[in-house]
Amino acid sequence: MSDHWNTYFTYIDNKPASFMLDLEPWKDGANETLVHLYRLSVILNEPTEDGLTSNQEAEVLYGIEDSIHDSLDNHYLFVGRITTDGRRDFFYYTDAEDGARLTSLAAAVLTKL
């Protein structure tokens, strides 16, 4: 994961959206074999009126995000997230053709909450 992240606000399907993106995930060339993109989606329990995260729920989501990242090895690369319409999507590149490990890991993290 690079140190060059940026956040953007826009609209998706006429709904507010927040993006956080790694702008240099392949800068050093070490991740070029990670060619499969997978998305993990989390439905927000208490979204704001505009479908984004509340401050309280954002803290829980940061914990989920950190737990998933801490459990992944170098076969996965977190490259960003989008929050809109009452859900947060996390995006990962991997060299695995099957996203089952990532899905299983996310499910384990979520059941601990």
Dist CA 42 CA 83 (whole Å)? 9
Confidence band of 82 (pLDDT split at 50, 70, 90): very high
- The pTM of this model reads 0.86
Indicate the average pLDDT of the chain. 87
Determine the residue type at 112.
Answer: K
Mean of pLDDT values over 79-86: 95
pLDDT of residue 61: 87
From residue 40, alpha-carbon distances to 20, 49, 100, 104, 111 in Å are 15, 23, 11, 11, 15
Tens-digit pLDDT profile for residues 1-21: 667 889 999 999 999 999 999
Dist CA 8 CA 10 (whole Å)? 7
Mean of pLDDT values over 46-68: 90
